[in-house]
């Protein structure tokens, strides 16, 4: 930064990129491992290992020509679309953080710097954050292969840059459009919902559409459809594929369009950005008369008090509730895959497995909210109630909030096999309890607003909840299979004992 | 140092706490019931750490804490039942209204619902929060949030009220109403302990003042007693405070 004039756009942009890099490298500072710097060491070791794999691949493929097959171009188009949807979701969230949470805009807007420079620098910071996420995954493989004999693959780097710049421009435009349409009070909530929808849109669409004919996997069905229409191999849709494999014209077009979008958004949205920030500073309260005698709010039992509080906090945070529901929707493809493939799992065991999976996911999420994301831990710590009592009440609240969703599949299963449904309910309850207990014991304190990134702070809790879902879900599926689908197998198992 | 006619609200003996280095080192402190006691000290003197240990938020390495005769280390729930803690950052939930917040706090202290509702109504009127009782706290000013938190601290009728920098960030009007509330609490027989960097507040409001530094109690008494000790007769508390907390005085 020493070689760039202070206060210039370049200087601001470098500052934003520096912040983006540091935010990536310093995430999750809590915990013994992190304090020792071990998390970063492990991260660098993983990248080094990934790079070594890339070098091996590059060395092995140094004399082998990479044929640019139509399938590869279609794959490049599909991956680009998927990445753009994820990146735009990231950019919307990043824009929201810039506008409403970071707090440095007060400093930047009070400095004698043009608003367009501030916005463009912020957008560049968002683009850098996004690009870094994917660069860590892609570049250790792509760059060695490109250096060791396939320089055309540097086109992947250009494609990544173009996608990140485009996503950043789209993200800020969507965020400001939402703020303008729904007002500052609802802008955050709507923005988060929009990000969740964007993040899942391509993935869900790609999974659900081909299910209509129940033939083969989603990916194969898409390939067949796209190839039949010449999509991804001809015309504008071929640009990502051509750029990824080094076509200079395609690279120039994509980078040019991305830069135009980026600069255009920065220059045209500066006023909207400023007013969005100014409106966002006015934190408005929502007043809703209870319409009840105040006595009705007061409860003598600790569990009721905690349940009422947790329920109100969740019900008044629609963005958070929506994120939880989206997690359930993301599971739909897995269930559809189990039911719809050629070697389909019978319906009852699949439903039993899905039920446990949903319950453990939901109870884990609610338990994280109630236990780890407590807004006023000191208030609970100074209350004359033991920690165990509070945790028990919170787990109960998490369980109760998840119960209506977790019971849907067992009720559906009861039409086919009542005994299977009973087993599923029991295993679902056990799986949910296990997930809640894992969060209680292994979860780390955090903010409710960081729900989407909650697993970054508690890797062990995340692994434990997956293990619990697999063990109890698998157990439920096997048990339901034995009692519903193949009684002979059950007799055999019993007979052998 | 302890010349009290009333029983002790707080009795601390040999309290010690170290993080990277010792923060509190053998602190002895007596605070009589029914007083407003100001705990002063330079930055990093250990005021907040001491009070967090009294409130049960930090575990002492050594020493004893008694609140109205209840051993806070052996019977933490018994001690918490008669104590309220109000930190400089109010412990609130953005998405709850003041009334809902008070209902939650009353539930934690397991108050009788009818009595708690009456108390909530009284406190909301008294602290001038009645009109906002159903408004979520998320848009409240710092002073409003502090008043909601104060209502939460008072609703369960604590005998000992501990406040860490209660006037930080408040405007003159809000600061006045919080000070009035504290004075009223003392008049109603409660014991109030406050830490503050605003020495005028301690000078005007406190019945007794304690000054800690280097993890120990440097001096305690009424303002006149402190002046006598520091040799600053006729001077302000600020002069007295600076005299008593110089490195030489702390070392002595």
Q: How far is CA A83 from the centre of its chain?
A: 12
DSSP-assigned letter for residue B202? H
Assign A413 to helix, strand or coil: helix
User: Is pLDDT of A65 > 70?
Assistant: yes
Residue of A403, A232, A188, A393 whose CA lies nearest to A305: A393
- Per-residue confidence band for B36, with pLDDT thresholds at 50, 70 and 90: very high
pLDDT, mean of residues A72-76? 85
* Cα separation, A171 vs A89, whole angstroms: 7
Q: How far is CA A314 from the centre of its chain?
A: 19
Query: The tokens of A318 are what?
Result: 């629609």
Instruction: Give the pLDDT of residue A488.
Output: 47
Instruction: Give the pLDDT of residue A204.
Output: 66
Helix (H) and strand (E) counts in chain B: 10, 10
**B139: closest chain A residue by CA:** A285
CB-nearest partner of A383 from B80, B92, B95: B80
In angstroms, how far is the first alpha carbon of chain A from the final one?
74
pLDDT digits (tens, 9 = 90+) for A43-61: 788 888 888 998 999 888 8
**Domain residue spans of chain B:** 1-82+159-171+190-252, 89-157
Measure in Å the smallest separation between the Cα of B2 and chain A Cα atoms: 28
For an interface test with A, give the residue of B98, B113, B123 to mutate (most A CBs within 10 A): B113
- Per-residue confidence band for A203, with pLDDT thresholds at 50, 70 and 90: low
Q: Write the CB contacts of B187 (distance below 8 Å, at least 6 apart in sequence).
A: none
CA angle (B146, B152, B158) in 5-degree steps: 120
CA angle (B2, B6, B10) in 5-degree steps: 65
Of A141 and A415, the one with more pLDDT = A141
- Taking contacts as CB-CB distances below 8 angstroms, the residues of chain A near B97 are 287, 290
Instruction: Give the pLDDT of residue A173.
Output: 93
Query: The tokens of B18 are what?
Result: 């170290």
Measure in Å the smallest separation between the Cα of A282 and chain B Cα atoms: 8
Task: Write down the pTM of the prediction.
Answer: 0.68
Of B174 and A79, the one with more pLDDT = A79
User: Is pLDDT of A239 > 60?
Assistant: yes
Q: Are A261 and A169 in contact (CB under 8 A)?
A: yes
- Taking contacts as CB-CB distances below 8 angstroms, the residues of chain B near A305 are 103-104, 106-108
If 0-12 CB within 10 Å is exposed, 13-18 middle and 19+ buried, where does residue B65 land? buried
User: Is pLDDT of A199 > 80?
Assistant: no
Instruction: Give the pLDDT of residue B186.
Output: 93
Task: Give the number of beta-carbon pairs within 8 Å between A and B.
Answer: 125
Angle between helices A248-268 and A270-281 (to 10 degrees): 50
CB-nearest partner of B80 from A287, A299, A384: A384
User: Is pLDDT of A166 > 90?
Assistant: yes
CB-nearest partner of A316 from B95, B134, B139: B95
Q: Are A257 and A242 in contact (CB under 8 A)?
A: no
Strands B160-164 and B83-86: parallel
* Cα separation, B122 vs B120, whole angstroms: 5
Q: Are A233 and A74 in contact (CB under 8 A)?
A: yes
How large a percentage of chain A has pLDDT more than 90?
11
Q: Write the CB contacts of A91 (distance below 8 Å, at least 6 apart in sequence).
A: A126, A127, A130, A167, A168, A170, A171, A172
Residue of A455, A334, A469 whose CA lies nearest to A406: A469
Measure in Å the smallest separation between the Cα of A344 and chain B Cα atoms: 46
Angle between helices A302-315 and A318-340 (to 10 degrees): 80
pLDDT, mean of residues A113-141? 88
- Per-residue confidence band for A456, with pLDDT thresholds at 50, 70 and 90: low
- The lowest-confidence range among B58-67, B180-189, B231-240 is B231-240
Instruction: Give the pLDDT of residue A287.
Output: 56
User: Is pLDDT of B163 > 80?
Assistant: yes
Instruction: Give the pLDDT of residue A344.
Output: 55
Instruction: Give the pLDDT of residue A198.
Output: 79
CA angle (A375, A379, A383) in 5-degree steps: 145
pLDDT digits (tens, 9 = 90+) for A254-283: 999 999 999 999 889 888 888 877 776 555
In this structure, which CATH number among 1.10.10.10, 3.40.50.300, 3.40.50.12780, 3.40.640.10 belongs to the domain B1-82+159-171+190-252?
A: 3.40.50.300
Instruction: Give the pLDDT of residue A274.
Output: 80
Residues found in chain B: 252
pLDDT digits (tens, 9 = 90+) for A96-106: 888 777 667 77
* CB spacing of A294 vs B96 below 8 angstroms: no
pLDDT, mean of residues A115-124? 87
* CB spacing of A298 vs B120 below 8 angstroms: yes
pLDDT digits (tens, 9 = 90+) for A323-341: 777 777 666 666 666 655 5
pLDDT digits (tens, 9 = 90+) for B64-113: 999 999 999 999 889 999 999 998 888 888 888 899 899 888 888 888 88
Instruction: Give the pLDDT of residue A185.
Output: 66
pLDDT digits (tens, 9 = 90+) for A389-399: 888 888 888 88
Residue of A375, A367, A372 whose CA lies nearest to A313: A375
How large a percentage of chain A has pLDDT more than 70?
79
CB-nearest partner of B93 from A375, A383, A384: A375
Assign A177 to helix, strand or coil: helix
User: Is pLDDT of B252 > 80?
Assistant: no
Q: Across chain B, what does the average pLDDT equal?
A: 87
Strands B22-32 and B8-18: antiparallel
In angstroms, how far is the first alpha carbon of chain B from the final one?
17
């Amino acid at each position: 930064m020493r070689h760039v004039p202070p206060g210039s756009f370049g200087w601001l942009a470098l500052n934003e990129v520096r912040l983006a890099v540091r935010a990536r490298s310093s995430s999750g500072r809590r915990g013994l491992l992190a304090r020792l710097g071990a998390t970063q060491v492990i991260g660098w070791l993983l990248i080094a290992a990934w790079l070594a794999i890339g070098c091996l691949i590059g060395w092995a493929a140094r004399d082998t020509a990479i044929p640019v097959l139509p399938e590869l171009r279609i794959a490049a188009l599909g991956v680009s679309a998927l990445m753009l949807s994820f990146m735009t979701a990231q950019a919307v969230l990043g824009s929201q953080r810039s506008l409403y949470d970071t707090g440095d805009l007060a400093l930047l807007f009070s400095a004698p710097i043009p608003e367009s420079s501030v916005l463009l620098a912020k957008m560049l910071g968002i683009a850098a954050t996004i690009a870094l996420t994917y660069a860590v995954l892609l570049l250790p493989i792509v760059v060695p292969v490109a250096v060791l004999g396939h320089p055309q693959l540097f086109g992947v780097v250009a494609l990544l840059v173009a996608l990140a710049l485009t996503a950043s421009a789209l993200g800020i435009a969507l965020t400001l459009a939402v703020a303008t349409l729904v007002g500052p009070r609802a802008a955050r909530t709507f923005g988060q919902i929009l990000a969740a929808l964007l993040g899942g849109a391509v993935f869900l669409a790609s999974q659900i559409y081909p299910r209509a004919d129940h033939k083969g996997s989603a990916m194969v069905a898409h390939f067949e459809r796209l190839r039949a229409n010449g999509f991804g191999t001809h015309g504008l849709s071929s640009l990502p594929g051509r750029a990824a494999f080094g076509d200079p014209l395609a690279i120039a077009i994509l980078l040019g369009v991305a830069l135009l979008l980026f600069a255009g958004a920065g220059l045209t949205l500066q006023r909207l950005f400023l007013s969005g920030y100014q409106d966002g500073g006015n934190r408005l309260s929502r007043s809703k008369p209870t319409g009840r005698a105040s006595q009705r709010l007061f409860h003598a039992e600790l569990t009721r008090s905690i349940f009422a509080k947790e329920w109100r906090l969740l019900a008044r945070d629609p963005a958070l509730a929506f994120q939880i529901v989206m997690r359930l929707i993301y599971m739909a493809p897995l269930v559809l895959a189990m039911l719809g493939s050629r070697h389909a799992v019978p319906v009852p065991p699949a439903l039993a497995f899905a039920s446990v999976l949903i319950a453990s996911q939901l109870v884990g999420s609610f338990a994280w909210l109630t236990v780890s994301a407590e807004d006023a831990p000191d208030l609970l710590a100074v209350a004359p109630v033991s920690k165990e009592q509070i945790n028990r009440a919170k787990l109960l609240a998490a369980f109760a909030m998840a119960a209506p969703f977790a019971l849907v599949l067992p009720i559906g299963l009861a039409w086919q096999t009542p005994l299977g449904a009973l087993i599923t309910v029991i295993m679902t309850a056990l799986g949910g309890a296990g997930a809640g207990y894992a969060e209680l014991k292994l979860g780390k304190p955090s903010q409710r607003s960081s729900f989407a990134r909650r697993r970054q702070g508690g890797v062990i809790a995340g692994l434990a909840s997956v293990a619990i879902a697999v063990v109890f879900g698998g157990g439920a599926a096997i048990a339901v299979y034995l009692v519903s689908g193949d009684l002979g197998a059950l007799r055999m198992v019993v007979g052998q004992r | 140092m302890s010349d009290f006619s009333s029983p002790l609200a707080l009795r601390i003996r040999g309290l010690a706490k170290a993080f990277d280095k010792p923060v509190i080192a053998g602190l002895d402190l007596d605070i009589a019931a029914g007083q407003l006691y100001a705990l002063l000290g330079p930055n990093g003197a250990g005021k907040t750490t001491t009070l967090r240990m009294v409130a049960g938020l930090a575990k002492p390495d050594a020493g004893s804490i008694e609140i109205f005769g209840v051993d806070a280390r052996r019977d933490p729930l018994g001690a918490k039942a008669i104590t309220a803690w109000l930190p400089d950052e109010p412990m609130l939930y953005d998405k709850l209204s003041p009334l809902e917040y008070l209902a939650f706090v009353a539930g934690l202290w397991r108050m009788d619902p009818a009595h708690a509702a009456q108390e909530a109504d009284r406190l909301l009127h008294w602290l001038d929060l009645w009109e906002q009782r159903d408004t979520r706290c998320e848009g409240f000013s710092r002073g409003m949030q502090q008043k909601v938190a104060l209502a939460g601290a008072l609703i369960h009728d604590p005998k000992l009220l501990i406040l860490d920098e209660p006037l930080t960030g408040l405007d003159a009007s809000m600061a006045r109403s919080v000070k009035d509330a504290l004075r009223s609490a003392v008049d109603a027989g409660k014991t109030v302990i406050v830490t503050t960097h605003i020495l005028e507040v301690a000078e005007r409001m406190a019945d007794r003042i304690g000054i800690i530094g280097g993890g120990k109690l440097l001096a305690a008494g009424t303002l006149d007693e402190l002046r006598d000790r520091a040799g600053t007769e006729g001077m302000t508390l600020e002069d007295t405070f600076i005299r008593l907390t110089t490195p030489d005085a702390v070392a002595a």
